[in-house]
Amino acid sequence: MGTICEKLQRMEEDYLASYAQKSSQSKGRAIPEEPDSIRTCFMRDRDRIIHSKSFRRLKHKTQVYISPGNDHYRTRLTHTLEVSQISRTIGRALGLNTDLIEAIALGHDVGHTPFSHTGEEVLNKLLSGGFRHNENSVRVLTHIEQGKQGIGLNLSRETLTGILHHSGLEKDDSGYNTLEGQVVRYADKIAYIQHDIDDSIRAGVLQITDIPKEYLEVLGFGHSERISTLVQDLVQNSRKNIRCGQYKISLSPSIQSALHGLREFMFATVYLGPLCLAERQRAIYVVEFLFNHYLQNYEQLPDFYLKIAQEEGLERGVADYISGMTDNYCTMTFKNLVMPRSSVQLK
């Protein structure tokens, strides 16, 4: 009979495409573990990520708009859930391993800083060797989070590789990433460009008429229409690639060009626009202040990060501490350090 996990692995062999990543063929974990009787290795990865503290903190990390004061705007957590949904839809249509896709999607942004990409840019400037959120996501899952084995969640190599290589719109990662990882990379771009348009219209920063018509005529004028166009094209074009012996996830040239143009428009108009710029300046000041403060007052670091500072260098310990902060905690920490507190008890 075998275990439920073994039954699921046989089902993968029967129902997944030949080019899908099977859990039974995983390259394993850094520390070998006994197989679970119910879950495949990728299911265990997904569960470990969902139950991690860094995943929970995503609900209070900014996507684009810092402290918008409206519950309808995306956060880093809702972005992650949208990426997971889009990538699972694509993966199911292509006969790929949706357990691996879900694990990569749910973990891809756990290393993001407070204050969206602004925090990342500041740490990239201040930290020797730079700071990239995709690399930090892997670091969080392997060096910061704690599991049964101690430090790190001991995830499978396929999950960590997919998380590491999820960034970038046009790079070719077919040589080192699974098809499942490539799907998440595209789903990430499909999700954030479209939902950032939606949030920008809600914020009054954009009107649909502001967006170049040449892109909307290709992708669609409505939010769901654009996502549908991108998902369907990615599935059909990737199937064509695979039939031709090219194991690569990609959009057709015309759709890829429209998505790239839309992304450039969003950078020029929204991400680097006047409304976000004002918030960016305040966020830059806060993150730079905290980084320099803890460099000069390292004894104030929590014990866990102080140990990292002693073992891997002070900059690394400070960057790990700040990058793990939510927007709210980062702001509160800043206020506690700079705002005077009266010692007089008022009656």
The vertex-225 CA angle with 203 and 201, nearest 5°, equals: 10
CA-to-CA distance for 212 and 205, rounded, in angstroms?
Answer: 15
Length of the chain (residues): 347
CA-to-CA distance for 295 and 314, rounded, in angstroms?
Answer: 7
Q: Which stretches of 95-132 are DSSP H helices?
A: 98-107, 116-126
Tokens standing for residue 241: 């690639």
In three-state secondary structure terms, 172 is coil
What pLDDT, on the 0 to 100 scale, is given for residue 344? 46
Closest to 144 measured CA to CA, from 339, 321, 336, 335: 321
CA-to-CA distance for 181 and 137, rounded, in angstroms?
Answer: 15
The DSSP secondary-structure symbol of 212 reads: -
Tokens standing for residue 35: 């197989």
Residues of the chain with pLDDT under 50: 343-344, 347
Please check whether residue 65 is in contact with residue 77, taking contact to mean a CB–CB distance below 8 angstroms: no
What pLDDT, on the 0 to 100 scale, is given for residue 63? 83
Span 227-257, pLDDT tens digits: 999 999 999 999 999 999 999 999 999 999 9
CA-to-CA distance for 309 and 313, rounded, in angstroms?
Answer: 5
CA-to-CA distance for 116 and 123, rounded, in angstroms?
Answer: 12
User: DSSP string spanning 265-313?
Assistant: HHIIIIITSHHHHHHHHHHHHHHHHHHHHHHH-GGGS-HHHHHHHHHH-
What pLDDT, on the 0 to 100 scale, is given for residue 140? 98
User: pTM to 2 decimals?
Assistant: 0.95
Q: What are the beta bridge partners of residue 152?
A: 146
Q: What are the beta bridge partners of residue 340?
A: none
Task: Give, in order, the Cα–Cα distances in Å from 270 to each of 59, 166, 219.
Answer: 22, 23, 19
The DSSP secondary-structure symbol of 60 reads: G
CATH homologous superfamily for 41-279? Answer: Hypothetical protein af1432 (1.10.3210.10)
**Structural domain spans, the chain:** 41-279
User: DSSP string spanning 10-56?
Assistant: HHHHHHS-TTS--GGG---BSS--PPPSSS-HHHHHHHHHHTSHHHH
Please check whether residue 107 is in contact with residue 84, taking contact to mean a CB–CB distance below 8 angstroms: no
Q: What are the beta bridge partners of residue 147?
A: 150
